[in-house]
Amino acid sequence: MAMAPSSRLGPVAQVSLHNGFRVCSLRRRRHVKTYAAKSEGMITKLARVFSEKAKSDYERVFGAMDKTRERLSVADELFTYWQLDEYEEALEELEDVLLTADFGPKTAARVCDSLRVEIKAGKVSDGSEVKALLKENIRQILTAPAGEGGSDNPLSFPDDAEVGTVLVVGVNGAGKTTTIGKLAHRLTSQGVAVALAAGDTYRAAATEQLVEWGKRTDSPVVVKRGEKEKPPALLYRALEETLAAHKNGEGTDGYADVLVCDTSGRLHTNYDLMEELGKCQSSMQKVMPGSPHETLLVLDGTTGLNMLNQAKEFASYVNLTGLILTKLDGTSRGGAVVSVVDEVGVPVRFVGVGEKLEDLQSFDADSFVDAILPAGI
């Protein structure tokens, strides 16, 4: 649906002119765009953005998992003195160790049950092999939702999508807005143009926070227009404007390859607000069928197994396509990641490992498993 130019430019220009970053943003973006080959499709661009970061991600994830690794290191004693004829007792102890790192009763039992089956079948003979098997079982849980042959790319959009759309949801304080800032940083610094939508309309400070991230990452921000505009209406307008700007081509105000939408934090137990989230999703669908392409649930890793209830609840209102776990840098409850994926069946796409711009890492199951259970006993 075409928009009158004045309404398309309105809110974006207001914010940017007021903060004096619009002019600078366009100039810099043009520069960045020359770096990303023009013929390069968005999918290829994204694949490059994320694969280039893979190596440094590993070191950061390893560092962030210190506390969880420490908890699980108790299991190394079990593996060191492993005796096949006493495996039942050892498996019970292993289950307890997994519980201390918040693997959750269901997942801890499932992991140990499958070890038991393989031990009984004579597939392992010593502790180091049991540890390797444990790691493989966890890796399988983490990779199962994406399926074999699933995309390695933490964000995927249909090849023919003019603009990729991302809806970010979660409870208050989970880290949504910060994560959006980090994500915008990663994308824009590699030549992917990003626009942000300030869908958290209930608190003025929330919009200011996102506008600040817009400035830092050179991304235009669509903000609430008038007192009455509710999140579903704002996201509708944001997507419409972004599509219109995209049609007009690079250099147009609000031009973006990817639109990332913030939402208000809501308690997963608040029925009305959760319903509204469903409306946010459907208003984006109305503008662009198949949208939002990614609906990412941000979960605060320090809350451990509480994440599980939140994830189940959000999954019943919106079509979650991925999880982002934040604050893993400050927790020894990292095992909860495994239980959330196991029980909710949605893959982890990113992990937050600090408050800085660079502290958002693509999630890789192998690196994660190595970080919580390093090689050697």
Ligand X SMILES: Nc1nc2c(ncn2[C@@H]2O[C@H](COP(=O)(O)OP(=O)(O)O)[C@@H](O)[C@H]2O)c(=O)[nH]1
- Give the CA distances from residue 50 to residues 44, 73, 247, 299, 309, in Å, rounded to whole numbers and listed in that order: 10, 30, 26, 21, 30
φ/ψ of residue 267, rounded to 5: -75, 135
Coil, strand, or helix at residue 322?
strand
Window 251 to 280, contacts with ligand X (CB under 6 A):
265
Nearest residue to 337 (alpha-carbon basis) of 153, 70, 171, 141? 141
- Using CB under 5 A, which residues numbered 184 to 213 contact Mg ion? 206
* Part of the chain binding ligand X (CB under 6 A), chosen from 29-37, 76-84, 235-243, 354-362: 354-362
CA dihedral over 104, 105, 108, 111, signed as positive or negative: negative
Nearer to Mg ion, 49 or 196 (CB): 196
CA distance 297 to 28: 31
* DSSP assignment string, 249-284: -TTSTT--SEEEEEE----TT-HHHHHHHHHHHHHH
Taking CB within 5 to 8 Å according to partner kind, which of Mg ion, ligand X, none is near residue 354? ligand X
Residue 69 interacts with, from Mg ion, ligand X, none (CB under 5-8 Å by kind): none
Binding site partner of 374, from ligand X, Mg ion, none, Cβ cut-off 5-8 A by kind: none
Q: Would you say 130 or 206 has its CB closer to ligand X?
A: 206
Question: Measured between alpha carbons, how far is 324 from 315 in angstroms, rounded to an integer?
Answer: 14
Min dist. Cβ of residue 205 to Mg ion (A): 9
Q: Which of 61, 234, 352, 362 binds ligand X (CB under 6 A)?
A: 352
- Tell me the residue number closest to Mg ion, measured at CB: 177
Helix (H) or strand (E) holding 97: helix 87-100
- The residue within the footprint of ligand X, chosen from 5, 41, 150, 173 (CB under 6 A), is 173
> Which x/- pattern, by CB under 6 A, does the window 278-307 give for ligand X?
--------------------x---------
127 makes contact with ligand X (CB under 6 A) = no
Cβ(268)–Cβ(314) under 8 Å?
yes
- The stretch near ligand X (CB under 6 A) out of 86-94, 169-177, 239-247, 307-315 is 169-177
- Using only the alpha carbons of the chain, give its radius of gyration: 22
Phi, psi of 94 (to 5 degrees): -60, -40
Q: List strands edge to edge, sheet with 258-263.
A: 221-222, 194-199, 258-263, 164-169, 294-300, 322-326, 348-352, 360-362
The site partner of 345 among Mg ion, ligand X, none (C-beta below 5 to 8 Å per kind) is none
Kindly list the distances between the CA atom of residue 366 and the CA atoms of 48, 128, 184, 256, 265, in Å, as whole numbers in the listed order. 20, 17, 25, 33, 31
177 binds Mg ion (CB under 5 A): yes
Place of tokens 């605060």: 300
Task: Compute how many residues bind ligand X; rule: CB under 6 A.
Answer: 19
Residue 131 or 224 with smaller CB distance to ligand X: 224
Query: Minimum distance between the CB of residue 181 and ligand X, rounded to whole angstroms?
Result: 8
User: Which of Mg ion, ligand X, none sits in contact with 218, Cβ below 5 to 8 A by type?
Assistant: none
Does residue 172 touch ligand X according to CB under 6 A? Answer: yes
Stretch that binds ligand X, among 46-54, 167-175, 186-194, 342-350 (CB under 6 A): 167-175
Considering the rule CB under 5 A, would residue 178 count as an interface residue with Mg ion?
A: no
CA distance 12 to 165: 18
Name the minimum Å distance from CB 327 to ligand X: 4
Residue 207 or 281: the one with the smaller Cβ distance to ligand X is 207
Q: Whose CB is nearest to ligand X?
A: 352
Please state, as a whole number, how many other Cβ atoms lie within 10 Å of the Cβ of residue 209. 18
Stretch that binds ligand X, among 4-12, 111-119, 229-237, 346-354 (CB under 6 A): 346-354
Q: What is the distance between the alpha carbons of residues 132 and 214, in angstroms, rounded to a whole number?
A: 44
Is residue 178 a contact residue for ligand X (CB under 6 A)?
yes
Q: Is 175 in the site for ligand X (CB under 6 A)?
A: yes
Where on the chain is the footprint of ligand X (CB under 6 A)?
Answer: 170, 172-178, 265, 298, 326-327, 329-330, 352-355, 359
Where on the chain is the footprint of Mg ion (CB under 5 A)?
Answer: 176-177, 206
